[in-house]
Structures are given as C-alpha cells and as structure tokens.
Amino acid sequence: MIGRVVEIVQEGLQCHLYRGFLIVKRREEELGRVPLDDCESLILASSDVIITRQLLAELAQRHSTVVVCGSKYEPVGIYTPVVGNQRQAERQQAQVFASKPLQKQIWASLVKGKIKFQELFLRELGKEEEAEKLFYLGEHVQSGDKTNREAQAARLYWQALFGEHFRRDQEQEGANALLNYGYAILRSSVARALAGAGLLLGWGIGHSKKDNPFAFCDDVMEPFRPSVDRLVKELVLENMTQLTPEVKKKISKVLWMDLEIEKEAVPVMNAIQRLVYLILESFLTKKCQISFKDWSWLNKNTILTDTN
C-alpha cells in the first residue's frame, strides 16, 4: 500500500506529534493532521519549519521518510530510520534491478507523453500541420525510443513554437532563460516526489550521465516540460523576456496549471506525484503501468493572471 506524502511549503509552521497524528500548526492554530500510519513521507520544503524529536522518532518507527529541501527546493538530505526501512529498500531494489526491457518501456512511455503534450500545444496555436507530424512521431515511439523520435519531435516543435532560427540553448537569454527557470521548478517538484516515494534520484533510464545526481528526475519531468513551454510562449508574446521577479512569479505557477486526467482536474504538482507512483508500481509489478491516453490540459488558458 502506498501512503500519503505530506509536504510543508508555507513559512512559519511547526510539525508535532499528538496521539498518533502528525499535527501541523502555525503558533497555536492547528492547520491539519495526518495519521502517522498513513504518512509515507514528510517533505520539509519551508525554510523555517520546526519539527520535534518525538515526531521524528515516531516516523522512524513507522519506516516513514523525511526529506529536507534546500534553497532551490531540491532535496539535500533524506532522513531514514536506523532500523531497515523495508519499503524504501524494496522500492530502490526494484528500481535498480528493473529489467532492461521494462526500463525501455518506461522511457518510451515518458517520451510518448512529452510528444503528446507538444502536439496538443501546437494544435492550440493553430499549427495543425506540425501537430500532425508530432502525432505521427508519438505514435511510432519504440521501446527505448531507439529511433530517437524525441529528438525528431524536438526539432520540429521548437521551430514551430519560436521560429526556424530558434535553438534550445541553456546558455542563452530571452526565451531560453525563461525555459531554464521553469524546468528548474519542475525538476525540484519531481525530485521531491521521487524522494518521497523512496526512489533513487540519480538512477536514470533515459538520462544516464554518471555526473548527474538528478538523472531520474530529468526522465520523469519530460511529459511536463510543455506545460512550462505554454507559459513561456505567452510571456514572450507579451514581450516579457527578461527573468524579472514578476516573470519568475508567473512561471512558478506552472505547478498549479490544471491537467485533465481521466476526466479529473489535477494540478501539475499532483500529476507529478501520480506519475511517480505509476512508475513505482511499474517497478514493483515488473510491468509498465504508464499511459498518457487520458491526459491533457484542462483548458486552453494559462495562468498568467495575478493570484495570491
């Protein structure tokens, strides 16, 4: 059974133990509680969160994971019990010893998801001819993407999105800088989800460079990249191409962009959690459980309007 992941992101909160519950408070006001037996993982993303020793001890007794995030919201430490965490060990072993065919099937599914959302975005922009080509590429992704449909789709997609002279370059300013910032936000969210699920962040499938401690994060975030692209495209159309605090605030809202998954409205940050657990189930059952057939954006409107 996969339990609940509790993430603390607001400032000024305290986490306490009370009669078998994880209690979240602001000063003396209780904001929420979760039964410890249901708590799979506690993620501390707030800079000033306070947690008691008693709560840490009880979480350890239940083999729950506590993830501490740094200033960029990427995990910098994971607290695990001295006594063996059977669930985490089981999951990491399933991940590491997943067969090559299963890894290739998972990677192909992630590539298909990415291309599907690229296709959907181009259709929103009225670029039907290019979208049809992406649809064809997505339909013909093979196990492990051995014919490199992802790269073929990327070339077509970026030129359709920003013009034939656009090149995706992490060192460039303008749209590239905005994309980099949005992808960093996605990467952090994926990293927290993977750590919370007890999976190894650096054990990549499609991205496998030995010097990349977030290789698996880069795999999992692929289907969500076009959600960042939607926001950046709208910002570019508004001539907002400098990475100002205002622009950063707008891009950061990508995690709250609504997807439609099986006729249900799901924010991107929750969709990331859902995908992570589909991947986990794939490792545990030794069968790919991932499908983006019923995934799309909820509507054609992005979320650039200011909200608190």
Q: Where would I find the H helices in 197-307?
A: 215-220, 225-237, 245-252, 268-285
C-beta separation of 51 from 76 below 8 A: no
The answer to whether 15 and 7 are in contact (CB under 8 A) is no
- Cα 56 to chain centroid, rounded: 26
Report helix, strand or coil for 148.
coil
End-to-end CA distance of the chain: 36
3-state secondary structure of 51: strand
Structural domain boundaries of the chain?
A: 4-84, 94-297
CA nearest to 85, candidates 59, 56, 109: 59
Distance CA 72, CA 236 (A): 25
- pLDDT, residue 178, reads 92
Token pair for 239: 């001539």
Record: fold of 94-297: Four Helix Bundle (Hemerythrin (Met), subunit A) (1.20.120)
Q: Are 62 and 87 in contact (CB under 8 A)?
A: no
In what side-by-side order are the strands of the sheet with 65-69? 4-8, 39-44, 65-69, 75-79
In terms of Cβ atoms closer than 10 Å to its own Cβ (0-12, 13-18, 19+), residue 165 is: exposed
143 burial level (CB within 10 Å; 0-12, 13-18, 19+): middle
Task: For the chain, 308 residues long, give each residue's pLDDT as a single digit of tens.
Answer: 446 778 888 899 999 999 999 999 998 899 999 999 888 778 888 889 999 999 999 988 887 878 888 776 667 777 766 655 567 888 999 999 999 999 999 999 999 999 999 999 999 999 999 999 999 999 999 998 889 899 999 999 999 999 888 888 777 788 898 999 888 888 888 887 888 888 998 899 998 767 788 899 999 999 999 999 999 999 999 999 998 888 888 888 888 899 999 989 999 989 999 999 999 999 999 999 999 999 999 876 554 444 44
Q: Is 117 helix (H, G, I), strand (E, B) or coil?
A: helix
The residues, ordered by sequence, that sit 6+ positions from 47 with a Cβ below 8 Å of its Cβ are: 11, 71
* Phi, psi torsion values for 91, nearest 5 degrees: -70, -45
Query: What b-and-e string marks burial along 216-254, b requiring 16 or more CB atoms within 10 Å of the CB?
Result: bbbbbbbbbbbbbbbbbbebeeeebbeeeeebeebbebb
CA 228 to chain centre: 12
Phi, psi of 114 (to 5 degrees): -60, -50
pTM: 0.78
CATH architecture, domain 4-84: Ribosomal Protein L15; Chain: K; domain 2 (3.100)
